[in-house]
Amino acid sequence: MNPHRRSPGVIAAAAFVYFFLYAPIVMLILYSFNASRANVKFEGFITTFSDRVQMDGSLVKSSPCGPFHWYCDLSKNDDVIEAAGNTLTIAFTSTIIATIIGTMAALALQRYDFKIKPFSQLALYIPIVIPEIVMGIGILTLFSQTFGWLNDALHLTGDARLSLGIGTVTVSHIAFMVPFVTLVVQARLQGFDRSFEEAAMDLGANEWITFWRVTFPTILPGVLSGALLAFTLSLDDFVITFFTNGPGSTTLPIYVYGLLRRIITPQVNALSTVWILTVFIAVLLLQWLQSRESKPAH
């Protein structure tokens, strides 16, 4: 029996799984080139040659952007640009802070023994396993109570009052991203040989120089993997952002949800396609870093 031969049943099952996973994404991308404004029926690709009349008598104009008409509209939408800016600002800020905190937490948990270490290790999994809506409600309650107390204690009024916004969304993202970064960096530290650090200190390096020249370069693939994982989670997050955002802090997932509540046009598909490509590139970088991490050192 040929060990490389695949059973037809296995191939069919794999094809069905891939179709089930990616057919909706393919349809979403296809409909971003739809000539119709109503995103419920595909009426062909937008052309640059001539206008045409639909069966209901409405006129569909040809687009100077060709099949990328909805992408051109998207680039002129100030609300989309603002939401994209908010999303990237929150994602970059929260990723940097969560990566720093997560890396320090991983080093502490890996190297030191203290009384609450088992609880600290277990507590890392709580934000990961509990439903996001529960965490979102909890964070919203915390912010509401804290801001209410501070506003009353400091006698803040008007625009000076503390309220939900980009800051609260960023803090919320940091809260649920730190455990992911910590666990990824901890996995990298499992195979770390501390004799290299001891050798560096024997040669006269202090702890700070040893960390930056020996420890950090060794665990860097794990740190970058955790950072990219946190970045993609922040880009895609909807539930926690929905509970903690305020005026002027709308992100792209929240913006898309708002569009879906009104009318679904191919512009939503164009926006979703751009976002899928962004996340896909980030995931490819993550996989590349993980593949480098798994290669044995020479």
DSSP 234-258: HHH--HHHHHH--TT---HHHHHHH
pLDDT per residue over 237-271, tens digit each? 889 999 998 888 888 888 888 877 766 677 788 88
What local confidence, expressed as pLDDT, does residue 53 receive?
Answer: 41
Burial classification of residue 57, based on how many CB atoms lie within 10 Å of its CB (0-12 exposed, 13-18 middle, 19 or more buried): exposed
Higher pLDDT, 36 or 274: 274
pLDDT tier at 174 (50, 70, 90 boundaries)? very high
Paired residues of 252 in beta bridges: none
Q: What is d(CA 17, CA 55) in angstroms, rounded to the nearest whole number?
A: 38
What does DSSP assign to residue 211? I
Q: What is the mean pLDDT of residues 179-195?
A: 84
Q: What is the mean pLDDT of residues 186-204?
A: 78
Angle at 68 between CA 286 and CA 85, to 5 degrees: 50
Give the pTM. Answer: 0.78
